[in-house]
Amino acid sequence: MRILTHSKRVFLTLTMFTLAYNIHAQDQNLTLNQDPKFEQLLSDKRKINTSISTNDTYKIQIFSGKSEDAKKTLADFKREYSNIDGTIIFNTPNYKVIVGNFKTRIEAERNLTEIKKRYKSVFLIKPSK
């Protein structure tokens, strides 16, 4: 292996610094063209998201069990109580039928007593804060 002289080492070092200084691999200009309606849609979505509050309403669970039974229970419930929303939630290993979006506990308990007449395993779900 040959040993470089001091002048060759200085020359190679300066050459390397010069090349490294002139390389701009990360410098890149990117132009993004987007539809102006997109920003308005995004703004509307943000407004809607802030107005939706999912954790401050009481709900009633009317069923917990197999998928087919949950679907049947929800369909029966919607036929009887068309003014109350309902949904099915999967919570391992059961499917749960949750109904209502009641703002106050009093409103939820009134509906709970009415729903208890038809469904046996019914209970109130408090909002989590």
Of the candidates 20, 8, 12, 96, the one whose C-alpha atom is nearest the C-alpha of residue 59 is: 96
Q: Residues 67-88: pLDDT tens digits? A: 999 999 999 999 999 899 999 9
Write down the pLDDT at residue 35.
86
pTM over 0.75: no
d(CA 65, CA 69): 7
Share of the chain above pLDDT 90, in %: 40
The answer, yes or no, to whether residue 5 has pLDDT greater than 70, is yes
The answer, yes or no, to whether residue 101 has pLDDT greater than 60, is yes
Q: To which residue do tokens 């989590």 refer? A: 128
Q: Is the dihedral of CA 11, 15, 16, 21 positive or negative?
A: positive
Q: Residues 103-115: pLDDT tens digits? A: 899 999 999 999 9
d(CA 14, CA 63): 77
Q: What is the mean pLDDT of the chain?
A: 85
The pairing of beta strand 123-125 with beta strand 86-91:
unpaired
Write down the pLDDT at residue 44.
87
Write down the pLDDT at residue 64.
93
Q: Which amino acid, residue 41?
A: L
Task: Give the mean pLDDT of 29-55.
Answer: 79
Extract the runs of DSSP E, i.e. beta strands, from 1-129. 58-65, 86-91, 94-102, 123-125
